[in-house]
Amino acid sequence: MPRSIARGDVHRRSEEMSTLMKIYTKTGDAGETGLFGGPRVRKDHARIEAFGTVDELNSQLGVARSLAVAAAFDPLLRRVQADLFELGAQLATPPAPGRSVDERITAAHVTVLEAEIDALEAELAPLTHFILPAGTALAAALHVARTVCRRAERRVVTLAAEVGDTIPANAIEYLNRLGDLLFVLARVANHRGGVSDDQWIPT
């Protein structure tokens, strides 16, 4: 291929990428947004609420990862963030009529979370009381992520009630188990930081 054509092709692709990556498009100014490969819907549509809350959860995990003491958890948290990106993309993509949902988050992902929970719980004393979401900065950040995870789970349950089986089959199970993992991680963060669980004692 002549060098001039190759350069022209690169320039054209660069322009296309620039167009694709433009931050503001003004297409959502009327309160609607487009689903991947699907129709435009209101920004408070159940599908938008679902994948938007998954995105919020992903960002909260980024806050937790930003703490220096999170280094030991970083590979796990980054892997979870990648999973959430996949899940969010699935939730944002309604399947075409007659086609099944693209299952990127599978039962195997849930099994991995369960194995992580079991391994981490081995470090901890058995839980005998409810605990307050407190302790080290990392534990507090993980507790916030846990509560956002539970909200994401609720939003996906709402979406499932509206659209039936057009959501990933393992989405709710994955988020449910991830909430458990984040709770255990918060406890481990306190344990490794030398901070005891702050038990809730009813007065």
What pLDDT digit, counting tens, does each position of 105-154 carry? Answer: 999 999 999 999 999 999 999 998 899 999 999 999 999 999 999 999 99
Bridge partners, residue 199, by sequence? 131
Q: How many CA atoms lie within 13 A of 91 on its CB side?
A: 30
Could you tell me the CA-to-CA distances from 104 to 12, 54, 73, 140, 167 in Å, in that order?
32, 15, 23, 30, 11
What pLDDT digit, counting tens, does each position of 61-83 carry? Answer: 999 999 999 999 999 999 999 99
On whether the 43-192 domain is CATH 3.90.700.10, my answer is no
Domain coordinates of the chain in residue numbers?
43-192
Please state the pTM of the whole predicted model. 0.81
Burial of 22 (0-12, 13-18, 19+ CB in 10 A): exposed
The torsion region of residue 26 among left (phi > 0), alpha (psi -120 to 50) and beta comes to: left
First and final C-alpha spacing in the chain: 80
Could you tell me the CA-to-CA distances from 165 to 54, 103, 141 in Å, in that order?
19, 12, 33
